[in-house]
C-alpha cells in the first residue's frame, strides 16, 4: 500500500519488524498485526497504586469463562495445604470486600520461595487464567509482582513491570494471553512508542480544533502513560474519534461521488403492472409503507443509482414494497432480481410473490399475458438452468428470483434495472459486489433487512446507503404471547407444552418446533432434532409432522416447505433455517427448544414466523439456563418485548456487532477496533457531521491524512457494504 503520510507508513509496519518474529506471533491472538494495532491496544483497567481491582465485578464479567485476567489485590492470607512433596500454597487475594483464591503448586523449596515473595508486601498484580471449581473462581498459578516501597519483586519479569509503573502514576492492565502477560504487553507498547517517536497528526487541524481532542501523538502517550484519569479518557476519545471519522469520511466521499455513476431512470407509469397491482391489492398500505414506497419510486425515476437499505420488523411488509419497486422497473422494460440467502427462502419468495401478483403473474400455461417470473438457484437442473439463462439474457424473464447463483459471472442480464437483496446480513462479501458492477450503468439497489439496526450502527455499517425504516406493523396483526419454560424446574410444563401443540393442531392451525442442532451431542440432548423426534413420537402421535434442516437434499426441503405452506403438514420440526422469510398465516404456535442457544435477534426472527395473519400466536421457549444467568435474562427480555429495535439494541449490548449481523459478516465489523456503535452513538454523529464538512472543504480528497484514513479503512473493510461504493 502506498501511504501519503509518514504517520500511516510508520503505523502500518508489521509488528515483527519492531518486536521480532516470536513476540509478533504471540500478539496475533490479540488481533494485533501492525505497529498501529499495538499502539491502539488499550488497557482494560487503569489502576493507581492505591486502587484495588473490584473482584466481584471482575468475576462476574468473566463468569464461566477461562479468560486470562489481571488484577491488583492485597494478600489477605497464606496457607500451605497437603503433604510434602505434593504441597500447594493457597493465597487469599482481596479487594477489601471480596476475595479470590490463587493456588500455587510446586516443590517445597518453591512453595517457600513464593511464600516469602508474597509476604514482602500486601499488594501486588496477579495475572493468570481464571478457573472454576464448584462455581467458585480461582486463579491457578498466576504470575505476579508485589509492589513494595523499594520497587517491584515478583514471580515474573519484575523489571518490566517496574518500567511500566515508573512511566506513569497509573498501571494499565492490558488484555493478555498465556504468552503475553500484561507487563509484557506494556513493555512491547513502550518499545513501539519509542520506535515511532514524535508522529505527525494525520487529522486535518481544523477538525482537531473543532473537536478539542488531543493530537495523535499526545493521545497515544496519554492512553499508555496517563498522569491523570482525565488524560487517559481524552486519549481514548481521540482514538475513538479517529475510527468514527475514518468511516464517516469514507462514506461521505462515496455519497458525494455516487452521482458520478449512472443508472437508467425508470419513472412511474400509470398504465402498467404496478398500477394494476395497486388496484388489486387486498389491503391498504400502512403510512410507513406509503411514505417509503414514494421515496423509492422517486429514486428509481432518477438516473443516479438508488442505494437504499430498508429495515423493518419481521412482517412489516417489506416484500410488498420490494415487489412494487420491481414492477415499476419492469414497467419501463427493465429486469428486476430478488436475491435470497438460501434456497428455501428463494422458493418461499417465489411462492409469496406469485400469491401477491395473483392473475398478474404469467403461469406459462394459460396465462401468458403476465409478469414473467424465473427462479434460478444452485439446484436447478441443467435443463431448467439452460432455459432460465436463456430467458434472462433474452429479456423474456422480467422478475428473477434466486440465490447467490444469480451472482454467477456467466449470467447475462438483458437489462438489469433493480437488484433487491433480502436479508442482506447473510451474504458473503464479494457476491453483492459482482452484481452491482455489471455493465456501464449500475442497477438500482434495495437491500432489505429484518434484523433492525439502530441508527448509529446503520450509519457506520451502511453509511453509504440511505436508510429507511418500516416501524409500523400492518393493522390487524395479531398478538403473540411468549412464555419461558424452565425445563429443569418445571418439567410438568414440558408435557403440557406438547399437549398444547396438539390442541393448536386440532383447531386447524400449524406449529413450528425449532431446535438449535440436528444431531444429539449426548444421549439425552433435548436441544437436537435427533432427540426431539424420538421424544415427540408419543405425545404428537397421529399428527402430520415433518423434519426440515439444512442437510436434507434440496428437492426434499422444497417439497416439505411446499406441503407445509399448502397446509398438508401440521407440525414442522426444524432448525433455525426457518428463521427468515417463511410466511404462513396459519402457523400460530412455535416451540423453541434450547432457547439459550440462540441470540436475541435470532429468537425474535424465529418468533416472527408466527402471528403473521390475524390469528393470535403462542411462542413457548424451553430452556435449561439458570434463572439469573445472562441467557435467561435474554429470554425474559424476549418475552416482554416484541419491538425488534429494542431487542436488537439489547442484543448488541451483549455481543459484538459482527455477531448480530450474522457470522458471514464477521468481517464487516473488522474496520472497527475500539468503537462500539451503540455506546458511541454521539461520537459517530459528530464524526459524520464533520466528515460532511470535510468533503465540502476538500471535494477532491487532496488532504494526505484524510486520503490515508480512507485508504486504510477500505483495505480493512474488504466487505460488501463498504466495497460496493
Residues that bind ligand ADP in the complex, under the rule CB under 6 A = 283-286, 289, 312, 314-320, 450, 474, 583, 612
Q: Residue 238 or 404: which CB sits closer to Mg ion? A: 404
Q: Residue 305 or 611: which CB sits closer to ligand ADP? A: 611
> How far apart are the C-alpha atoms of 354 and 371, rounded to whole Å?
10
Stretch that binds Mg ion, among 55-63, 318-326, 365-373, 669-677 (CB under 5 A): 318-326
Q: Residue 494 or 589: which CB sits closer to ligand ADP? A: 589
Q: Residue 111 or 310: which CB sits closer to ligand ADP? A: 310
Nearest-approach distance from CB 608 to ligand ADP, in angstroms: 7
What H or E segment, with its residue span, contains residue 17? helix 15-19
Stretch that binds Mg ion, among 204-212, 288-296, 313-321, 457-465 (CB under 5 A): 313-321
Measuring CA to CA, which residue among 467, 377, 473, 462 is closest to residue 425?
462
Nearest-approach distance from CB 605 to Mg ion, in angstroms: 11
Stretch that binds Mg ion, among 319-327, 469-477, 513-521, 660-668 (CB under 5 A): 319-327
Nearest-approach distance from CB 477 to ligand ADP, in angstroms: 8
How many residues are there in the chain?
A: 725
Nearest-approach distance from CB 280 to ligand ADP, in angstroms: 13
Binding-site partner at residue 119 among Mg ion, ligand ADP, none, CB < 5 to 8 Å by type: none
- Does residue 319 interact with Mg ion by CB under 5 A? yes
Q: Residue 147 or 574: which CB sits closer to ligand ADP? A: 574
What Å distances lie between residue 647 and 64, 447, 602, 654, CA to CA?
A: 24, 21, 10, 11
Q: Residue 279 or 382: which CB sits closer to ligand ADP? A: 279
Binding-site partner at residue 597 among ligand ADP, Mg ion, none, CB < 5 to 8 Å by type: none
- Does residue 10 interact with Mg ion by CB under 5 A? no
Q: Residue 219 or 587: which CB sits closer to ligand ADP? A: 587
Measuring CA to CA, which residue among 311, 673, 331, 610 is closest to residue 462?
311
DSSP letters, 257-300, are HHTTS--------SSSHHHHHHHH-SSPPPHHHHHHHHHHHHHH
Binding-site partner at residue 425 among ligand ADP, Mg ion, none, CB < 5 to 8 Å by type: none
Q: Residue 227 or 614: which CB sits closer to ligand ADP? A: 614
CA 295 to mean position of chain CA atoms? 28
Which position has the grid cell 419481521? 314
Nearest-approach distance from CB 638 to ligand ADP, in angstroms: 18
- Count the Cβ atoms, other than its own, within 10 Å of residue 454: 17
Joined together, the cell numbers standing for residue 411 give 449470467
- Count the Cβ atoms, other than its own, within 10 Å of residue 636: 14
> How far apart are the C-alpha atoms of 708 and 713, rounded to whole Å?
8
| Site size for Mg ion (CB under 5 A) | 1
> How far apart are the C-alpha atoms of 419 and 434, rounded to whole Å?
12
Task: Give the contacts of 306 (CB within 8 A, at least 6 positions apart).
Answer: 263, 296, 299, 300, 444, 445, 446
Nearest-approach distance from CB 428 to ligand ADP, in angstroms: 22
> How far apart are the C-alpha atoms of 708 and 36, rounded to whole Å?
13
Q: Is 552 helix (H, G, I), strand (E, B) or coil?
A: coil
Site string for Mg ion, 267-306 (x = CB under 5 A): ----------------------------------------
Binding-site partner at residue 258 among ligand ADP, Mg ion, none, CB < 5 to 8 Å by type: none
Nearest-approach distance from CB 472 to ligand ADP, in angstroms: 9
In the complex, the residues that contact Mg ion under the rule CB under 5 A are: 319
Amino acid at each position: 500500500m502506498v501511504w501519503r503520510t509518514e504517520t500511516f507508513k510508520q503505523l502500518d509496519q508489521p509488528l515483527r519488524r519492531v518486536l521480532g518474529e516470536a513476540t509478533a506471533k504471540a500478539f496475533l491472538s490479540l488481533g494485533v498485526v501492525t505497529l498501529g494495532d499495538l499502539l491502539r491496544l488499550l488497557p482494560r483497567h487503569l489502576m493507581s497504586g492505591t486502587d484495588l481491582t473490584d473482584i466481584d465485578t471482575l468475576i462476574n464479567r468473566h463468569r464461566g469463562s477461562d479468560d486470562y485476567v489481571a488484577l491488583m489485590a492485597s494478600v489477605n492470607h497464606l496457607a500451605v495445604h497437603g503433604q510434602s512433596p505434593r504441597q500447594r500454597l493457597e493465597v487469599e487475594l482481596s479487594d477489601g470486600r471480596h476475595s479470590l483464591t490463587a493456588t500455587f503448586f510446586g516443590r517445597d523449596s518453591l512453595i517457600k520461595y513464593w511464600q516469602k515473595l508474597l509476604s514482602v508486601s500486601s499488594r501486588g498484580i496477579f495475572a493468570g487464567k481464571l478457573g472454576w471449581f464448584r462455581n467458585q473462581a480461582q486463579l491457578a498459578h498466576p504470575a505476579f509482582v508485589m509492589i513494595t516501597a523499594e520497587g517491584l519483586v515478583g514471580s515474573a519479569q519484575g523489571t518490566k513491570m517496574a518500567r511500566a509503573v515508573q512511566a506513569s502514576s497509573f498501571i494499565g492492565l492490558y488484555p493478555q494471553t498465556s504468552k503475553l502477560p500484561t507487563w509484557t504487553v506494556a513493555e512491547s507498547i513502550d518499545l513501539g512508542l519509542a520506535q515511532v517517536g514524535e508522529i505527525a497528526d494525520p487529522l486535518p487541524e481544523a477538525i482537531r480544533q473543532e473537536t478539542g481532542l488531543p493530537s495523535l501523538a499526545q493521545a497515544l502517550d496519554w492512553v499508555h502513560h496517563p498522569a491523570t484519569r482525565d488524560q487517559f479518557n481524552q486519549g481514548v476519545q481521540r482514538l475513538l474519534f479517529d475510527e468514527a471519522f475514518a468511516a464517516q469520511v469514507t462514506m461521505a466521499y462515496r455519497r458525494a461521488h455516487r452521482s458520478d455513476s449512472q443508472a437508467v431512470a425508470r419513472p412511474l407509469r400509470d398504465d402498467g403492472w404496478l398500477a394494476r397491482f395497486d388496484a388489486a391489492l387486498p389491503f391498504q398500505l400502512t403510512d410507513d409503507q406509503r411514505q417509503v414506497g414514494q421515496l423509492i419510486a422517486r429514486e428509481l425515476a432518477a438516473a443516479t443509482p438508488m442505494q437504499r437499505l430498508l429495515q423493518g420488523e419481521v412482517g412489516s411488509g417489506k416484500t410488498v414494497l420490494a415487489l412494487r419497486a420491481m414492477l415499476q422497473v419492469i414497467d419501463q422494460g427493465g429486469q428486476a432480481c430478488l436475491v435470497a440467502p438460501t434456497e428455501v427462502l428463494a422458493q418461499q419468495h417465489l411462492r409469496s410473490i406469485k400469491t401477491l401478483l395473483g392473475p398478474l403473474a404469467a403461469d406459462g400455461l394459460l396465462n401468458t399475458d403476465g409478469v414473467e417470473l424465473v427462479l434460478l438457484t444452485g439446484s436447478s437442473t441443467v435443463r431448467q438452468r439452460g432455459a432460465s439463462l436463456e430467458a434472462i439474457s433474452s429479456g423474456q424473464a422480467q422478475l428473477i428470483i434466486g440465490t447467490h447463483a444469480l451472482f454467477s459471472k456467466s449470467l447475462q442480464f438483458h437489462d438489469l434495472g433493480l437488484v433487491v437483496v433480502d436479508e442482506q446480513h447473510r451474504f458473503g462479501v464479494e457476491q453483492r459486489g459482482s452484481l452491482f458492477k455489471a455493465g456501464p450503468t449500475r442497477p438500482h439497489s434495495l437491500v432489505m433487512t429484518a434484523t433492525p439496526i439502530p441508527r448509529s450502527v446503520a450509519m457506520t455499517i451502511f453509511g453509504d446507503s440511505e436508510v429507511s425504516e418500516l416501524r409500523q406493523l400492518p393493522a390487524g396483526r395479531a398478538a403473540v404471547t411468549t412464555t419461558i419454560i424452565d425445563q429443569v424446574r418445571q418439567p410438568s410444563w414440558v408435557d403440557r407444552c406438547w399437549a398444547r401443540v396438539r390442541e393448536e393442531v386440532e383447531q386447524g392451525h400449524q406449529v413450528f418446533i425449532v431446535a438449535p442442532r440436528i444431531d444429539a451431542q449426548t444421549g439425552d440432548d433435548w436441544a437436537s432434532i435427533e432427540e426431539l423426534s424420538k421424544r415427540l413420537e408419543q405425545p404428537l402421535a397421529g399428527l402430520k409432522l415433518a423434519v426440515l434442516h439444512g442437510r436434507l437434499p434440496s428437492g426434499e426441503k422444497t417439497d416439505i416447505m411446499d406441503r407445509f405452506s399448502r397446509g398438508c403438514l401440521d407440525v414442522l420440526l426444524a432448525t433455525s433455517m426457518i428463521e427468515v422469510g417463511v410466511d404462513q398465516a396459519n402457523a400460530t404456535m412455535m416451540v423453541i427448544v434450547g432457547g439459550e442457544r440462540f441470540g436475541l435477534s435470532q429468537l425474535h426472527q424465529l418468533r416472527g414466523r408466527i402471528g403473521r395473519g390475524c390469528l393470535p400466536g403462542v411462542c413457548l421457549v424451553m430452556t435449561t439456563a439458570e434463572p439469573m444467568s445472562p441467557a435467561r435474562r435474554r429470554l425474559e427480555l424476549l418475552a416482554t418485548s416484541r419491538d425488534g429495535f429494542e431487542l436488537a439494541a439489547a442484543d448488541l449490548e451483549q455481543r459484538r456487532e459482527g455477531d448480530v449481523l450474522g457470522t458471514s459478516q464477521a468481517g464487516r465489523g473488522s474496520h472497527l477496533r475500539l468503537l462500539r456503535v451503540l455506546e458511541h452513538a454521539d461520537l459517530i454523529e459528530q464524526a459524520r457531521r464533520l466528515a460532511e464538512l470535510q468533503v465540502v472543504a476538500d471535494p477532491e480528497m487532496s488532504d494526505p491524512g484524510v486520503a490515508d484514513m480512507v485508504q486504510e479503512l477500505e483495505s480493512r473493510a474488504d466487505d460488501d457494504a463498504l466495497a460496493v461504493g
